[in-house]
């Protein structure tokens, strides 16, 4: 049994004191402490969230619920976590059993390679096929799995994909556009093109990366825009069309990276870590800095770090 809820600063102090001699030596990331109290593992996080795990988790949690009530007058519902999961389950079920258009992007965190955005149209009768293929958020699938299933998705599912090259991305940056504005523009572009095809849909879904009001502020200069959007966090795991869009975008991104690697005769790593800095330095030594400026996102910190190699 696992129970999670948030506590007040006053209760945090009480918990730190109470579990002082029950603490474990190792502490999980962002945790104030982790303690073993009989058969219950208690983890208190810096954010104020506390997690009780074990057979007696509900009993131990209830004790602190009552103390919180006495200290602050605040009532905690220990079923909050369960209720949230049930809500997500219902939301997933409702989105998977309707016809949706969804969009997702790949490449925004990668120094090399384009930003790829796809919008897809999934009808409820296609869900069994998607489940058979193992479609889910592309970040949870291996590159090999993406390469295997994406061609079928492209053949069976109507979609529109747009690839923003890094020279184009850098021009947007020079105009003062931040990443969220660029993403909003690209999502709107593919959603509009797919919507224009006239497919009947129940909802248009985007994995929320910015508050809706801000999203539409980013599009104030757009002449053609899609406005009937449902914004959902973790949409790629809740909505079939967003999951498909995620997979197709990833597939096209991998193809673009393969092509660029072949042209350079240098395997290009994904992401923006130290291995990327080393490859950037290798490219400059082999082709000059002008080449790096042509194939990279120039506002990333990697542009400064590669000099160390």
| C-alpha to C-alpha distance for 297 and 283, rounded to whole angstroms | 14
- Portion of the chain with pLDDT greater than 70, in percent: 94
Task: Label each residue of the chain as H, E or C.
Answer: CEEEEECCHHHHHHHHHHCHHHECCCCCCCEEEEEEECCEEEEEECCCEEEEECCCHHHHHHHHHHHHHHHHCCCCCCCHHHHHHHHHHHHHHHHHCCCEEEEEEECCCCCECCEEEEEEEECHHHHHHHHHHCCCCHHHCCHHHHHHHHHHHHHHCCEEEEEECHHHHHHHHHCCCCHHHHHHHHHHHHHHHHHCCCCCCCEEEEECCCCHHHHHHHCCCCCCCCCCEEEECCHHHCCHHHHHHHHHHHHHHHHHHHHHHHHHCCCCCCCCCHHHHHHHHHHHHHHCHHHHHHHECCCCCHHHHHHHC
- The pLDDT assigned to 137 comes to 61
pLDDT digits (tens, 9 = 90+) for 63-118: 999 999 999 888 887 765 555 555 555 555 577 779 999 999 999 999 999 999 99
Per the model's pLDDT, the better-predicted residue between 84 and 37 turns out to be 37
* 115 close to 186: Cβ distance less than 8 angstroms: yes
For 46, phi and psi rounded to 5 degrees?
A: -60, -30
The predicted pLDDT at position 131 comes to 87
Task: Name which of 43, 51, 68 is nearest 4 in CA terms.
Answer: 51
* Mean predicted confidence (pLDDT) in 155-163: 97
Mean pLDDT score of the chain: 90
CA neighbor of 299 nearest in space, from 192, 204, 175: 175
Q: Tell me the mean pLDDT in the region 263-267.
A: 96
Instruction: State how far the Cα of 36 lies from the Cα of 134, in Å rounded to an integer.
Output: 38
Tokens matching residue 164: 């923003």
Distances (CA, A) of 229 to 4, 88, 203, 250, 299: 31, 19, 7, 23, 30
**Rounded CA separation 106/187 (Å):** 11
Residue 176 has pLDDT above 60, yes or no: yes
**179-219: per-residue pLDDT in tens?**
999 999 999 999 999 999 999 999 999 988 888 999 999 99
- What is the predicted pLDDT for the residue at 75? 85
What pLDDT does residue 56 have? 80
Q: How confident is the model at residue 27 (pLDDT cuts 50, 70, 90)?
A: confident
Residue 242 has which token pair? 């967003």
Give the model's confidence band at 26: pLDDT under 50 very low, under 70 low, under 90 confident, else very high: confident
Mean pLDDT of 264-282: 94
Helix axes 143-156, 240-264, angle to 10 degrees: 120
Contact present, 47 and 30 (Cβ < 8 Å): yes
Dist CA 154 CA 234 (whole Å)? 22
Angstrom CA distances, 56 to 1, 3, 59, 218, stand at: 8, 10, 5, 50
- Report pLDDT for 236: 85
Model pLDDT, residue 107: 95
Which pLDDT score is estimated for 308? 84
Query: What's the average model confidence in pLDDT over 7-22?
Result: 92
Say what the pLDDT of residue 103 is. 96
pLDDT value of residue 122: 96
Residue 82 pLDDT: 55
Q: Which of 24, 293, 29 is nearest to 171 (CA)?
A: 293
Q: Would you state the pLDDT for residue 224?
A: 94
Closest of 263, 299, 266 to residue 282, by C-alpha = 266
């Amino acid at each position: 049994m696992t129970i999670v809820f948030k506590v007040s600063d006053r209760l945090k102090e009480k918990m730190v004191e109470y579990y002082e001699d029950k603490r474990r030596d190792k502490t999980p990331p962002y945790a104030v402490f982790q303690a073993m109290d009989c058969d219950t593992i208690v983890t208190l996080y810096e954010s104020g969230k506390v997690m009780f795990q074990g057979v007696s988790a509900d009993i131990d949690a209830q004790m602190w619920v009552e103390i919180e009530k006495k200290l602050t007058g605040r009532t905690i519902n220990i079923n909050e976590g369960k209720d949230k999961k049930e809500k997500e389950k219902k939301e997933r079920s409702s989105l998977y059993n309707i016809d949706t258009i969804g969009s997702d992007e790949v490449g925004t965190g990668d120094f090399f390679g384009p930003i790829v955005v796809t919008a897809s149209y999934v009808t409820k009768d296609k869900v069994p096929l998607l489940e058979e293929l193992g479609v889910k958020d592309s970040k949870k699938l291996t590159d090999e799995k993406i390469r295997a299933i994406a061609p079928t998705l492209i053949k069976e599912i109507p979609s529109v994909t747009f690839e923003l090259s890094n020279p184009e991305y850098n021009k947007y940056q020079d105009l003062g556009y931040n990443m969220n504005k660029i993403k909003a523009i690209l999502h709107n572009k593919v959603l509009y093109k797919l919507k224009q095809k006239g497919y009947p849909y129940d909802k248009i879904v985007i994995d929320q990366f910015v508050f809706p009001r801000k999203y539409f502020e980013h599009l104030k200069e757009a002449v053609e825009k899609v406005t009937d959007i449902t914004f959902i966090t973790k949409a790629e795991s809740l909505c079939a069309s967003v999951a498909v869009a995620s997979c197709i975008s990833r597939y096209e991104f991998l193809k673009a990276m393969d092509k660029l690697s072949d042209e350079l005769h240098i395997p290009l790593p994904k992401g923006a870590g130290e291995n990327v800095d080393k490859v950037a330095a290798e490219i400059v030594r082999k082709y000059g800095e002008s080449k790096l400026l042509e194939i990279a996102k120039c506002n990333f910190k990697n542009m400064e770090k590669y000099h160390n190699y």
